Amino acid sequence: MSARVVVGAAALVVLATSCGSTERRLDGDLLIRADRMFDGRTFVAPGAVLVRGGRIAAAGRSLRARAPKTIDLGDATVLPGVVDLHVHGTTAETIRGGVTTVRNLGAPLGYLRLPRREFDVRVLKAGPLVTVPGGYPEPVWGSRQALEVSSPAEARRAVRMLARRGSDVIKIALETLFGAWPTLTVPEIRAIVAEAHARRLDVTAHAMGSRGAALAVMGGVDELAHTPCGATDDTIRTLVRRHVPVVATLHVELAFGGCNEVARRFHALGGRLLYGTDAGNRGIPFGIDVEELRLLRAVGLTPTKILAAATSQAAKEAGLAPLGTLTPNAPADVIAVRGDARRLRDDLARPLLVVSGGRVVVDRVR
């Protein structure tokens, strides 16, 4: 069925309950209907989402509802806006490409002063990476991306300063794969983690190479910001046992040979891979990175789990649940794509519809 928009007419869709009765009619600002819906966890067909006051009012197989604007999408999938857990920058293409929330995991300290919304995208921020003098990222990306410490006491002070400036997450650098650079010590990492946790902040680690990944484990970090290329089987098993999630970034890692086998072993043992792209690097789009989704499929995730990793699971990791779901009272970040989203086709990166905070910001339906 071709997409069509009906504006100004009341939309009535009846939902039969298990007892055979019908629900009361709901009112909202916007009603979106499609042949299928992913609510952040499961698929239903058909699907309908009712938005009211910037929030999800209701969603389900069908709804008895009315709204001044109704969008009938036909052969399409409606789903939550995508959450990218690892970017370096936001552009207009971020929202146009279906990503409604990002977590910027590395920027100069002054970036923490900027607004929390850019181009209608919700932005979480880490600020500069906590590292040691001469350590990554300074040799590669410059000193403005680095916050250097030389002791556990300095590490704690750095975390306190970042928290005061508004950091949403603390990122540390443990790069041992590409250069013989110095790294944080285990006592320094543990001091960072303890201070961050005292301020209800998580610590994510750029941990590459066998030594970098092992340091992350010994230091007790909450998350890895990349699939840890070079990680040993012992380290991978420890990550899984401690329930430390990994932001995959598999597409960007292809530039240096890829880390799919590490991701595959981690997933096979029960580890949790989450969606993140490292957008801002050459060749990585700012919107939905379909190649990243396909690489997650290649290492063993089902399409449904991949979409959850990019919506509900990513939002939960960022501390934003129930964002990333189409459930009552969740923020109304909604996208719609042609056909069945589980096919991971290229047109995922060009959504028909993007709703951010209840407001339609991209409309390609007409």
Residue-wise pLDDT tens for the chain (366 aa)? 344 333 333 333 333 333 333 457 799 999 999 999 999 999 999 999 999 999 999 999 978 899 999 999 999 999 999 999 999 999 999 999 999 999 999 999 999 999 999 999 999 999 999 999 999 999 999 999 999 999 999 999 999 999 999 999 999 999 999 988 999 999 999 999 999 999 999 999 999 999 999 999 999 999 999 999 999 999 999 999 999 999 999 999 999 989 999 999 999 999 999 999 999 999 999 999 999 999 999 999 999 999 999 999 999 999 999 999 999 999 999 999 999 999 999 999 999 999 999 999 999 997
Beta bridge mates, 190: none
Same domain, 58 and 202: no
* Pick from 58, 53, 55: nearest CA to 13: 58
- The answer to whether residues 43 and 304 touch, using CB atoms and an 8 Å cutoff, is yes
Q: Residue 16 sits in a domain of what CATH number?
A: 2.30.40.10
Same domain, 298 and 338: no
Same domain, 212 and 288: yes
Name the residue with tokens 């043992």: 269
Same domain, 151 and 263: yes
Total number of residues shown for the chain: 366
Q: CA angle, corner 161, sides to 180 and 211, nearest 5? A: 25
Write the DSSP assignment of 30-55 as a string of letters. EEEEESEEE-SS-EESSEEEEEETTE
Same domain, 155 and 296: yes
Same domain, 208 and 152: yes
353-356 vs 334-338, strand pairing mode: antiparallel
Give the separation between CA 171 and CA 106, rounded to whole angstroms. Answer: 8
Q: What is the pLDDT of residue 366?
A: 74
Same domain, 195 and 269: yes
Same domain, 275 and 339: no
Q: For 248, how many CA atoms within 13 A lie in the half-sphere containing its CB?
A: 34
Same domain, 64 and 99: no
Name the residue with tokens 């952040």: 40
Same domain, 250 and 193: yes
Residue 69 is part of which domain span? Answer: 4-80+325-363
Residue 312 neighbours by CB distance under 10 Å = 24
Name the residue with tokens 């919700």: 122
What are the Cα distances from residue 207, in Å, to 53, 160, 321? Answer: 41, 22, 26
Identity (one letter) of the amino acid at 346? D
Helices (H), 7-151: 92-96, 138-141
Q: What is the pLDDT of residue 23?
A: 54
Edge-to-edge, what's the strand order for the sheet holding 117-118?
A: 82-87, 99-104, 121-125, 117-118
Three-state SS string over 84-96 comes to EEEECCCCHHHHH
* Pick from 49, 14, 17: nearest CA to 330: 49
With b meaning 16 or more CB within 10 Å and e meaning fewer, what string describes 38-69? bbbbebeebbbbbbbeebbbbbbeebbbbbeb
Same domain, 106 and 74: no
Q: Which two tokens stand for residue 359?
A: 């407001």
Q: What is the pLDDT of residue 160?
A: 98
Q: Residue 164 sits in a domain of what CATH number?
A: 3.20.20.140
Same domain, 205 and 253: yes
Q: What is the pLDDT of residue 5?
A: 39
Q: What is the pLDDT of residue 179?
A: 85
What are residue 235's phi and psi, to 5 degrees?
-65, -40
Which helix H or strand E contains 76, and what residues bound it? strand 76-80
Q: What is the largest CA-CA distance in the chain?
A: 69
Number of domains in the chain: 2
